[in-house]
Amino acid sequence: MWKKNFLFRAAEDTPMTESENELFHDTEPAMDSAGLTLEKFLSVWVQGEGEEDNPTVFTSVYVRTAALDVAKQVAFLQPLQGRSHQIKQMLTPGQKRFLGQWFQSHASEAWEASDDHFRELFDSQ
């Protein structure tokens, strides 16, 4: 199975260099938000068939929101959402555009092999 994570600051169109696992791995779960300075993130997990850097087809995508207090190293990670309407609502037009372009430029054969339902998720219209 092939998988990749794109971690966006909530309002930015380009993902961070760190993945969700790298940024949130050593954080404690926050019990409440009192006294926290939270930064909002959007984490996109894409799965498919293939090897590490060589996907052959994209099959599914999951999105979740997250919030992190960098100074206190505590975080809120929401459950992964995998329904099309949820994904379309959660991603900004710029994030959808970035992801669609990334798939097409980094794995064009996998993009073409993916079903229309998957590709339509990244239509920024």
| pTM of the predicted model as reported, rounded to 2 decimal places | 0.91
- How confident is the prediction along the chain (125 residues), in pLDDT tens digits per residue? 999 999 999 999 999 999 999 988 888 888 878 889 999 999 999 999 998 889 999 999 999 999 999 888 899 999 999 999 999 999 999 999 999 999 999 999 999 999 999 999 997 65
Cα 51 to the center of its chain, rounded Å: 19
Which residues make beta-bridge pairs with 43?
Answer: 7, 64
Residue 68 resides in a domain: yes
Closest CA to 44 of 113, 95, 114, 117: 95
Q: Which residue has the tokens 């961070």?
A: 16
Enter the tokens of residue 47.
């799965």
Domain count, the chain: 1
Give a yes or no: residue 8 inside a domain: yes
Neighbours of 125 (CB within 10 A): 6
Q: Which domain holds residue 67?
A: 2-120
Q: Answer whether residue 19 is part of any domain.
A: yes
Q: Could you give the CA distance from residue 57 to residue 42 in angstroms, rounded to a whole number?
A: 23
Does the residue 125 lie in any domain? Answer: no
Say if 6 falls within a structural domain: yes
Unique residue bearing structure tokens 């930015």: 12
For residue 82, the model assigns a pLDDT of 92
Instruction: Tell me whether residue 10 is exposed, middle or buried, using C-beta atoms within 10 angstroms of its C-beta: 0 to 12, 13 to 18, 19 or more.
Output: middle
Is residue 41 a part of any domain in this protein?
Answer: yes
State how far the Cα of 60 lies from the Cα of 46, in Å rounded to an integer.
6
Domain membership of residue 97 (yes or no) is: yes
Closest CA to 61 of 107, 101, 105, 103: 103
